[in-house]
Amino acid sequence: MRLKSPFVAMLLSGIAATAASAATPKDTINLHQRALAAMCANCHGTEGRTTDGSAIPSLAGMPREYMVAQMKAFREGTRPATVMHQLSKGLTEEQVQSVSTYFSNIKR
């Protein structure tokens, strides 16, 4: 399928330009939060959704307080783990709060 009209191209570039200039501070915060949460996706799936039947749990829709508590348990060694006791120690409290909030707001 080809782009039929130069008008459509103009419209597209117009919207893109407007969008770029209209980025708000909240958009920036959201982008950074989403990119940080993407660091979990290597193992836990894009947007926290793992492949079907995965032994690694999905994070999408996980209640925020539960995830924060699990990360704390991994860090303190009260929840046994294979890798998460080592990876959880690499995140600040603020980062844990941020990714937990992000995934709690994603639909399962």
- Binding residues for other proteins, per CB under 8 A? 1-3, 8, 11-12, 15-16, 18-24, 27-28, 31-32, 34-36, 38-46, 50-51, 54-56, 82-83, 86-91, 95
Query: What would the two tokens of residue 35 be?
Result: 């990119």
Give the nearest distance from C-beta 104 to other proteins in angstroms: 19
| Cα–Cα distance, 11 to 78 (Å, whole number) | 56
Give the nearest distance from C-beta 10 to other proteins in angstroms: 12
Is residue 98 within 8 Å of residue 87, measured between CB atoms?
no
- Tell me whether residue 73 or residue 91 sits nearer to other proteins (CB atom): 91
Give the nearest distance from C-beta 7 to other proteins in angstroms: 12
Give the nearest distance from C-beta 100 to other proteins in angstroms: 15
Query: What would the two tokens of residue 73 be?
Result: 């348990």
**Which alpha helices (H) appear in 1-108, and where do they start and end?**
6-21, 25-44, 64-76, 84-87, 93-104
